[in-house]
Amino acid sequence: MIATAFSTDFNTVLPALDAWVTSAEQEAALLYRQQPRQQQFLAGRGFLRWLVCQQWHCAAGAVAISRQDNGAPLLSVGGQQWQCSISHTKGGVLVAASPEYVVGVDIEVVKPRRRLVELVEQYQDGFFSNLDGSNWQLFYQRWTLAEAVTKAEQGLLLSTLKRPVDDYQQRAEHAFSNGYMLCCYTEDAKPDALLREVTATAEGLVFAELK
Q: Of the given ranges (79-88, 117-126, 172-181, 187-196), which has the lowest mean pLDDT?
A: 187-196
Q: b vs e for 12-27, b when ≥16 Cβ sit within 10 Å of the residue's Cβ?
A: ebbebbeebbbeebee
Q: Which pLDDT tens digit goes with each residue over 147-190? A: 999 999 999 999 999 999 987 988 999 999 999 999 999 987 66
Helix (H) or strand (E) holding 104: strand 103-109
Rounded to two decimals, the pTM is 0.93
Identify the pLDDT of residue 121: 85
CB-based contact 17:46 (threshold 8 Å): yes
For 195, which DSSP code?
-
